[in-house]
Structure 1
Amino acid sequence: MGVQTWVLISDPVLAQEIFMTHGVTTSDRPPHTFFYCYSHGGRGVVCSDANKRWKRARTAALSVLAPQRVNQFTDVLLYEADAVVEKLVSHSQLHGQVDPSTYVQSAAMNVILTTCYATRVNSADDPLFKEIMECVHVNMKVAGAEGDISQFFPIFSILDGLVGKKRAFIDFLANIRDPLVTRLIQQAASSDKDSMVKTFLALKDEYDLDDKDILVILTDLIVGGTDTVSVSLSWMIAILSHHPDVQKKIQTELDAFIQTHGRLPTFEERDQFPYIISVQKECIRYRSITSFGLPHMASSDLVVRDYFIPKGTILVSNLNGMHMNPDVYYDPEIFKPDRFLNNTRTMSSAANGNIKQRDHFIFGWGRRLCPGIHLAEVEMFHIFIRIFAYSSIAAPLDKDGKEVPVDLDSGINAGLVTLPLPYQVRFIPRTDSPLKIDSFNTQ
């Protein structure tokens, strides 16, 4: 790739050896102008090299995002799940069909805002929602591999200088991103509500973090926590609009629990829903929300299975290749939730366990594994449960009243993530649900 050497890896077992067995050597980030600006010179968890500062930041993030800490916000997570599903169903009834993207974006954002910053947005029309989504979209777009062409062809750095590309990055961060996140941190710190901001601030001395470390880490949580979850849910909804038979099996499994307990399940009871868990995992595998994720870089020469990987090599997980690898998944082009019925471990447990028992690979590898994986899975589980407790998803109708299947074969390159093409679906209230639509406890 120009002056860079790239290795794209489509075999997860080989990726495990490269990123975990040799993780000390393969966990740095490649040079990237925006990474450097975004991280204030190497701070935070996502964009910095895997050095001592990064290790302290990651350890602090893992402490704050640990399951026992996430569980303290269960009421918040349940409220947001109820709120978004109520909106999806009611707006679908009002307008006939609905584009779910902004609703799941605001829900994912509210989980981060309420748990981290002790605040929330009321809707996609909220000025704070628009302000944050501008930051999220810019970060995702320019952080993609193609976002820094001068790293491949240094001659283009002259053009970057002429058009002021680096200056634009710095101005965006200084005038938009940093003031926004600083304001949110200050508001959370002065609030009487519990928040992860307060936990991070209490850990500053223990982990030798400064104010810029905290700012970048909390930006990582906003960007990663909002887009990853919302894009995953958008693909899940689109995929399942094609599979009413799968939805029926989900509802049968869920209804049996509701009829026994008279309520919806919690995440701690997820083991009682092998089919639902399998469907979620298959949706994530079937349509990867990112083609490559964030690349790694070899910090020194290494040899893996007689492959010589020189220092400075860019190491990329080809997630589409992995998820469609027939040596890993039988009939990979076919949507088959049953393939995971014997692998219903949490996504966090699967990602940290034996490579042959991993379900999918979107949360990364080894030392770079996403620290928010547990929060993301809990959030998606609660929303998923409520969608199918209260409704079924149907394809949209054209002007003649005929169903038009949602396009699953195309997507939008949004930098780090791949979005489904804009679509609408119908959330049809269930008449056979053990729970009624007026059971929602939202305002």
Structure 2
Amino acid sequence: MGVQTWIFISDPVLAQEIFMTHGVATSDRLSHRFFNYYSHGGRGIICSNAGKGWQRARTAALSILAPQRVNEFTDVLLYEADILVEQLLSRSQLYGQVDPSTYLQNAAMNVILTTCFATRINSPESQLFKDIMEHMHGGLKMVGIENDLGQFLPIMSALDVILGKEKVYSDYVGKCRDPLLVRLIEEALSSGKDSMMKTLVALKEEYGLNDKDIIVIMSDLLGGGTDTSFVTMSWMIVILSHYDDVQKKIQAELDTFIRAHGRLPVFEERDQIPYTIAVQKECIRYKSVNSFAMPHMASRDLMVRDYFIAKGTVLVANTIGMHMNPDVYPDPETFKPERFLNNTRTMTSSANGDVNQRDHFIFGWGRRVCPGIYLAEVEMFHIFVRIFANASIAPPLDVDGKEVPIDMDTVLDTGLLIMPQPYQVRFIPRVDSPLR
């Protein structure tokens, strides 16, 4: 691509060799002008190169996102899941059908806000919700490769100067992102409530972090923890609106558990609802939330099998290519939850284990694997279980009252994430649920 060499990888086993066996040499980030501004010159965990500062920031993030720490916020996660399901059902009953995206996004955002900053948003109409959306959408727009064409064709750098992109990046960080994060951090620290923010600040000295490190790390968690969970849940709803038979099997499995225990299952009991877990994993595989994972860059020359990878080569995991690879998933174009029935391992365990037993590849690779997998997985589990214990999902109706299946092939590509086009769906209360 211009003066750069890009390698796209669709074979998971080869990707494992490149990103894990040779991870020390393949964990840097693609050079991008915006990354330098976003990361304050190489801070944080998403956009910075894999040097010592990145290692300290990542270790600190892993400390506050560890399973035992996340489990301390179980009541928060359950509360947000219950509120979300209540909203989806009430709006659907009021208007006949509903676009769930705003409510899903609000719920995902509240999970990060409550656990990390000890605050929450009561309504998508609030100014805080709008400020955070401006921060996240602004970053998504700027991180696209088309916003740094000079890395491919150096002569194009002159165009960036003419268009004033440096000022755009500087204004985004200095006038939008940083003031928002500073406000959230100060409010979290002054709050009487527990939060991951307080834990991170307590680790500052141990990991050699300063105030700018804290801002970038929390920006990483806020952006990375909100949009991916929201888009994943949005796709799950779209997919299952097409499969009433799958929904009935989930509900039957949940009903059996509820009758035996008098309550909904918790995350630690996922082995008792294997079909429900299999459906979740198949939804993630069937409709990837991204086409390609965040690009890595080789920090030195290396050989992998018979491939020579030169220093500076950009290495990209082709997520859709892997999820639709027939050597990995037989009959990949078919939605088939049964393929995961014998795999109820956590997604955290899967992402860090044997590549031949991985369920899917959306959480990245090797040293760059997402540190927030466990939080995202527990969040999605509680929402998923509560939706199907209380409701069924049905396609929208046209003006004549006929069901219109949602188009799953027309997507909205935001650059980093692939979302369903805006859609309406019906959440129908279950009168046969044991919870009633």
- Cα shift readout 1:117-154 (whole Å, capped 9, x = no counterpart): 00000121111111101111121232233332221111
| Equivalent in the alignment of 1:337 | 337
| Equivalent in the alignment of 1:9 | 9
**Structure 2: which amino acid aligns with 1:289?**
V
| Equivalent in the alignment of 2:150 | 150
Instruction: Tell me if 1:47 matches 2:47.
Output: yes
| Equivalent in the alignment of 1:439 | none
Runs of 4+ in 1 over 6 A off after TM superposition: none
**Distance of 1:145 and 1:377 partners within structure 2:** 29
**Structure 2: which amino acid aligns with 1:381?**
F
Contact 2:45-2:54 at 8 Å conserved across structures: yes
| Equivalent in the alignment of 1:66 | 66
| Equivalent in the alignment of 1:424 | 424
Instruction: Tell me if 1:113 matches 2:113.
Output: yes
Task: Flag structure 2 segments of 5+ consecutive residues without an equivalent.
Answer: none
Answer with 136-145 or 82-91: which moved more. Answer: 136-145
- Cα shift readout 1:155-206 (whole Å, capped 9, x = no counterpart): 1110111111121011011001100000000000010000011000000000
- The SS at the match of 1:263 is coil
**Structure 1: which amino acid aligns with 2:409?**
D
| Equivalent in the alignment of 1:99 | 99
TM-score (norm 1): 0.98
**Distance of 2:211 and 2:80 partners within structure 1:** 30
**Distance of 1:432 and 1:148 partners within structure 2:** 55
**Structure 1: which amino acid aligns with 2:218?**
L
**Structure 2: which amino acid aligns with 1:124?**
P
TM-score (norm 2): 0.99
**Distance of 2:270 and 2:144 partners within structure 1:** 34
- The SS at the match of 1:8 is strand
Query: C-alpha displacement at 1:86, in angstroms?
Result: 0.5
**Distance of 2:374 and 2:185 partners within structure 1:** 23
| Equivalent in the alignment of 1:401 | 401
Query: C-alpha displacement at 1:207, in angstroms?
Result: 0.1
- The SS at the match of 1:24 is helix
Identity of matched residues, %: 70
**Structure 2: which amino acid aligns with 1:166?**
E
- The SS at the match of 1:308 is strand
- Cα shift readout 1:323-358 (whole Å, capped 9, x = no counterpart): 000010000001000001111100000011100000
Task: Flag structure 1 segments of 5+ consecutive residues without an equivalent.
Answer: 437-443
| Equivalent in the alignment of 1:182 | 182
**Structure 1: which amino acid aligns with 2:182?**
T
| Equivalent in the alignment of 2:209 | 209
- Cα shift readout 1:228-268 (whole Å, capped 9, x = no counterpart): 00000000000000000000000000000101111111111
**Distance of 2:149 and 2:103 partners within structure 1:** 34
- The SS at the match of 1:141 is helix
Contact 1:250-1:388 at 8 Å conserved across structures: yes
Contact 1:115-1:196 at 8 Å conserved across structures: yes
Contact 2:138-2:172 at 8 Å conserved across structures: no
| Equivalent in the alignment of 2:383 | 383
**Distance of 1:250 and 1:377 partners within structure 2:** 18
- The SS at the match of 1:206 is helix
Query: C-alpha displacement at 1:62, in angstroms?
Result: 0.3
**Distance of 2:194 and 2:146 partners within structure 1:** 40
**Distance of 1:119 and 1:157 partners within structure 2:** 42
**Distance of 1:139 and 1:417 partners within structure 2:** 12
Query: C-alpha displacement at 1:293, in angstroms?
Result: 2.0
**Structure 2: which amino acid aligns with 1:350?**
S
**Structure 2: which amino acid aligns with 1:419?**
M
Contact 1:44-1:220 at 8 Å conserved across structures: yes
**Distance of 1:402 and 1:138 partners within structure 2:** 39
Q: Show the 5 A alignment for 1:157-196.
A: 157-196=157-196
Instruction: Tell me if 1:234 matches 2:231.
Output: no
- The SS at the match of 2:359 is coil
Contact 1:142-1:415 at 8 Å conserved across structures: no
**Structure 2: which amino acid aligns with 1:258?**
I
**Distance of 1:343 and 1:75 partners within structure 2:** 27
**Distance of 1:169 and 1:155 partners within structure 2:** 20
Answer with 143-152 or 112-121: which moved more. Answer: 143-152
**Distance of 1:356 and 1:136 partners within structure 2:** 34
**Distance of 2:93 and 2:363 partners within structure 1:** 35
Q: Show the 5 A alignment for 1:314-393.
A: 314-393=314-393
Query: C-alpha displacement at 1:362, in angstroms?
Result: 0.4
**Structure 2: which amino acid aligns with 1:57?**
A
| Equivalent in the alignment of 1:440 | none
Q: Show the 5 A alignment for 1:81-100.
A: 81-100=81-100
**Structure 2: which amino acid aligns with 1:122?**
N
- The SS at the match of 1:330 is coil
Contact 1:141-1:416 at 8 Å conserved across structures: no
**Distance of 2:204 and 2:50 partners within structure 1:** 19
- The SS at the match of 2:80 is helix
**Structure 2: which amino acid aligns with 1:358?**
R
Query: C-alpha displacement at 1:36, in angstroms?
Result: 0.9
| Equivalent in the alignment of 1:295 | 295
- Cα shift readout 1:205-227 (whole Å, capped 9, x = no counterpart): 00000000000000000000000
Give RMSD over aligned pairs. Answer: 0.7
**Distance of 2:157 and 2:167 partners within structure 1:** 13
Aligned pairs, how many? 436
**Distance of 1:122 and 1:154 partners within structure 2:** 47
